[in-house]
Amino acid sequence: MDIAMIGLGRMGANMAQRLHRGGHRVVGYDPGEGARQRAAEAGLEVVDSLAAAVAALPVPRVVWLMVPAGETVDQTLGQLTPHLAEGDVVIDGGNSNYQDSIRRAKALAEDDLGYVDCGT
């Protein structure tokens, strides 16, 4: 499987490394240069933008968000969704409030995008 991991902090980087060790291709992105550098040093494929992360994946794409719950998820989705296409799926791993997840799922469904709330 090919997957983008957005957010390479402690949890996101560890999940990306485990997926990579399991034989999956993981393309990682984090807005922090230090997080990207640590992920690259750990052997992950890292890009420097959300657009590059999406472009690196075959369609349909799976993008896993490991960013803090709340406004950060909304901001990330706002920057991410213009690069997605029908049939792509976003997984929110950030323990979002279920009401926020319902709202986000409805909004993404309008563009035929999938949304999975998968708090970790």
Residue 119 pLDDT level (bands cut at 50, 70, 90): confident
pTM recorded for the entire structure: 0.94
Instruction: Give the residue-averaged pLDDT of 7-32.
Output: 96
Give the model confidence (pLDDT) of 23-42 as tens digits.
999 999 999 999 999 999 99
Give the model confidence (pLDDT) of 46-103 as tens digits.
999 999 999 999 999 999 999 999 999 999 999 999 999 999 999 999 889 999 999 9
Query: Which string of b and e fits 36-51 if b means at least 16 CB within 10 Å?
Result: bebbeeeebbbbeebe
What's the pLDDT at 65? 98
Domains of the chain, start order: 2-117 (3.40.50.720)
H/E stretch holding 91: strand 89-92
Is the separation of the CB atoms in 40 and 46 below 8 Å? yes
What's the pLDDT at 109? 98
Higher pLDDT, 109 or 95: 109
DSSP secondary structure letters along 41-62: HTT-EE-SSHHHHHHTSPSSPE
What's the pLDDT at 99? 95
